[in-house]
Structure 1
Amino acid sequence: MAGDTVLAVLLGLFDLLLFAADGFDEIAELPPWYIAVPVNIAMVAPLVFRRKSPLWSAYVVLVISVVHMTLQLGISSIAGLAMSIYSVVVYAGRRQGLVYVGAVVAGSAVQLALDQTVNQTDELLISALFLAFGIALCWTLGEFVGARRAYDVEVEARLHLLETERDQATRIAVAEERGRIARELHDVVAHAVSVMVVQADGASYAIQSNPELAQRALQTISETGRGALGELRRLLDVLRSDDADGEPRVPQPDAHALAELADRMRTAGVPVELEIGELGDLPAGVSLGVYRIVQESLTNTLKHAGRGATASVRVQRTGDLVEVLVSDDGAGRVPQLVPAGRRDPRLPGGNGLIGMRERAHVYGGTLDVGPAPAGGWQVRAALPVRLDK
């Protein structure tokens, strides 16, 4: 509004100077100063608000311009109408601009009818052409500036949208990475701690009656702890690495390490029957997912199936689909014996089962967990193989 205020003041002062100059002309018929000055001020005052309230300002200018032109008080009426047409087109829109142009034409016709000095056809034609040229010029300028403003607004909106999408993509990437790290930590820690707890319990019972068995259990605890520490160091190396690709520095376990996993579980006290078909060249992510699903399933068997439970693992590939079936003959065989009000710890909803389901879904696979129809507990997963991943 500061620039519009300066412009309005300059227009008003110019008209007042013209009025003062015409006052020395004895022939000119001028209205008294107490009429001319207020009309001039009223003529330019609405221009201060032409950006903030374009329609209100424009119509006030239109009404006062009829009086201003009739009294022939200067150029503020013509300049005010031109600025008002431009402002309505830019700040209000084309539809409001067309309505206002129609009102300007009607107001100009009224002013010409009241002006006794314009009574010839040539003068009327010149006035009409001047009015048409002025309206066209102001409209064209308003269209250009309005299109530029609309373009700037659209660019700002798109930049805001891009920033929002970038922030959202960053949040999603961070959430996915946190979920991946959480799954890895859970699988490593839960498996290792479960094996160590079972072996420690066995060693405490056998340390006096069977020292050799206790020694083997302690050795298993030591090996499991070292393996868990190694995997934890690998995860920490990934987190601390400044490499752009973020690749781990040591190989991750995959489906080919299932035999070693089964041996560790047998050492921990759970007989495991392992059947692995021809898997071919699996993508690294799918292979890791198969390993982690089997690892979590066997860990749950170790923790919840009870003494004397056995487990079977079958991994087969049929075309572009890898099927994993892990079952045991433990507590899942009689789910109705779970006390009322308590949920079986292996029912879906635990962190480990959530992690398995996420691993399956991230590759477009499925996971079914629950009591087997023939008794026992089973985990069935199907992962599609996409070599482009």
Structure 2
Amino acid sequence: MPDAPPLTPDRPVPAVGGELRLPKPPGVIRQFWARHPRLTDSILAALYVVPTFIATMVIASDSPTPPLVATLLQVVGIAIGGAAVLLFRRTRPWLLTGIAWSVCLMVAPFGMSDGFPILYALYALGVYRSTKAAWIGFGGSVGVTTLSAYLEAWVAPSPFGGPVATSSQYAAIMLIVTLIGVTVGNRRRYLLALIARAHDLARERDQQAQLAAAAERARIARELHDIVSHGLTVMVTLADGSAATASRDPERAAEAMRSVAETGRSALGEMRRMLGVLREPGGSPAELAPQPGLSAIPELIDGFREAGMPVRLTTSGVPEADPAVALAVYRLVQEGLTNALRHGRNAQHVEVRLQHRPGEVEVLVEDDAPPPQGDAPVTRGAGRGLAGLRERIALYGGTLDAGPRGARGWRLRATLPVTPAEPCGTEDPHERIDDGTPE
């Protein structure tokens, strides 16, 4: 069975946030006619054609000398008007109006009048076009029926009143029909606008849910990249160092391998916490743990020092209490040092500088690694780390600059705006340097 169209009253399509159920149209009879428009138009056309045809035949048969041409013309006009009502009432009401005017003027010179198709046309203009179209059609119809009344009176004067009385009666009936058509049409257009608005709201809700899901996937991808890239880079470096020193210094090699295991366990723990949010609703809850911040940066740098990187940390200013920015700063330092460890293993100095100023924090990570020489292995990345950092910095309205540092080394500099808040503690605002040497 094919799927029903979206937002149908009998079976709405479920959306991301649940079903959007439209109210059921009132009335069984009204729903039936709405589902069978051709049947409705056929009945309306028959209600015009059959009585008018019978009346025409009765009048022609009662006449002592039946006007054959007039009768035939009236029958042709009835057929044309009925066909126009059937075919064009909903789709081309202006064409129906023109045909109705033509039929009315066509039979008037023979002393007959036929204004019923005009009433159908005025109602159709009000319902299926606009209020303006209905009133324009009403004005034109008043002129046509007035001319028809004068033609009819000129050929066969009526004992019940002159053309003025006849045209005024036509105008009054057409005014009532026009008002009904405008009222029904305005209600129909209002309901269609409400339904269209409901469709727009459903699409907007689904789009917002999809955008939120995409943003969350991008955030998780950035976090996983930072965790996995950092952990694997440190583990590879420690493993290489352990292999190089295993023969001459087994104890140092064993210590390096223990650091490899510890780094792997730490990365796995972070990754499990990150992936815990992707579990099914009925699964076990994710393990809760605080995200790393500024206080975790010294421990992060100690891990890189264990991997053999000569890192010096310089901090100045008083950090402000903004956990989101603190996490971004931590990831910036982590990604910068990971890239330095991966691409610049021969660096003699690696500098990490955090400058906390009122309203912003600046992060600088740079090294002095020389370019690779000869057949030295070159580790190339896919650029996802820097792309993730740019996305992360853009979320806070900051700036990021990454590129070569002259002839030697690489520099990563970022500036993040910080909303003024209470200080994280009573840190000394003066510059503090940590180069790994014991105090």
Fold match by TM threshold 0.5: yes
C-alpha separation between the residues in 1 aligned to 2:56 and 2:336? 98
Q: Which runs of 5+ in 1 are unaligned?
A: none
- Residues 347-380 of structure 1: CA deviation (Å, up to 9, x unaligned): xx71111111111111111111122359532211
- Residues 247/226 of structure 1: CA separation in 2 closer, same or farther (3 Å cut): closer
Alpha-carbon contact 1:294-1:313 (below 8 Å) kept:
yes
**For the Cα contact (< 8 Å) 2:146–2:167, is it kept in 1?**
no
1:353 aligned to 2:390? no
Matched-pair contact (CA < 8 Å) for 1:112–1:118:
no
Unmatched tracts of structure 2, length 5 or more:
1-37, 422-439
More deviation in 134-143 or 100-109?
Answer: 100-109
State the 1:240 CA deviation. 1.4
Counterpart of 2:45 in structure 1 is: 8
Percent identity for Structure 1 against Structure 2:
34
Residue in 1 that maps onto 2:227: 188
C-alpha deviation, 1:36, in angstroms: 4.5
CA displacement at 1:60 relative to structure 2: 1.1
List per-residue Cα deviations over 1:281-324 (Å, max 9, x = no partner). Answer: 43221111111110011111111112353312121211121111
Greater shift after overlay, 133-142 or 277-286? Answer: 277-286
2:246 partner SS: helix
Distance 1:357 1:327, change over 3 A: same
Conserved? CA contact 2:273–2:286, under 8 Å = no
Tell me which of 196, 217, 225 is aligned to 1:157: 196
Deviation of residue 29 (structure 1)?
Answer: 5.7
Q: TM-score normalized by structure 1?
A: 0.86
- Quick one: which amino acid aligns to residue 372 of structure 1? R
| Alignment partner, residue 316 of structure 2 | 277
| Equivalent residue for 1:52, pick from 88, 91, 95 | 91
Pairwise CA RMSD: 3.1
The equivalent residue for 1:169 is 208
Q: What is the rounded CA distance, in whole Å, between the counterparts of 1:247 and 1:127 in structure 2?
A: 85
CA change 1:247–1:132 in 2 (3 A) is farther
Give the aligned partner of residue 416 of structure 2. Answer: 383
1:112 matched to 2:145? The reply is no
- Give the Cα separation in 1 of the matches to 2:97 and 2:289: 74
* Alpha-carbon shift at residue 99 of structure 1 (Å): 4.6
Higher helix share: 1
**CA shift digits 1:7-50 (9 cap, x unpaired):** 11122211233234446646696647655533332232211121
Aligned-residue offset at 1:344: 9.0
Read off the aligned partner of 1:47 and give its amino acid letter: V
Distance 2:97 2:236 in 1: 85
Q: What SS does the aligned partner of 1:209 have?
A: coil
Q: Please, which of 63, 76, 93 is the counterpart of residue 38 of structure 1?
A: 76
Report matched runs for 1:58-207 at 5 Å: 58-69=97-108, 71=110, 77-94=114-131, 96-115=133-152, 116-118=155-157, 123-207=162-246
Answering whether residue 399 of structure 2 is matched by residue 366 of structure 1, we say yes
Q: Distance in 2 between matches of 1:39 and 1:307?
A: 100
CA distance in structure 2 between the aligned counterparts of 1:66 and 1:39, rounded to whole angstroms:
10
- Contact 2:104/2:145 (<8 A) preserved: no
User: 2 CA distance for matches of 1:70 and 1:229?
Assistant: 97
Task: Provide closer, same or farther for how the CA distance between residues 228 and 271 of structure 1 changes in structure 2, counting only shifts above 3 A.
Answer: same
Q: Deviations over 1:212-267 (max 9, x none)?
A: 11011111101001101101110121221649xx9861112111100100110110
Call closer, same or farther: CA 1:249–1:187 in 2, change over 3 Å. same
Aligned partner letter, 2:416: L
Look up the match of 2:19. none
Partner of 2:258: 219
Normalising to structure 2: TM-score of the pair?
A: 0.77
- In 2 relative to 1, CA 100–324 (structure 1 residues): closer, same or farther, beyond 3 Å? same
Q: What residue is the counterpart of 1:313 in the other structure?
A: 352
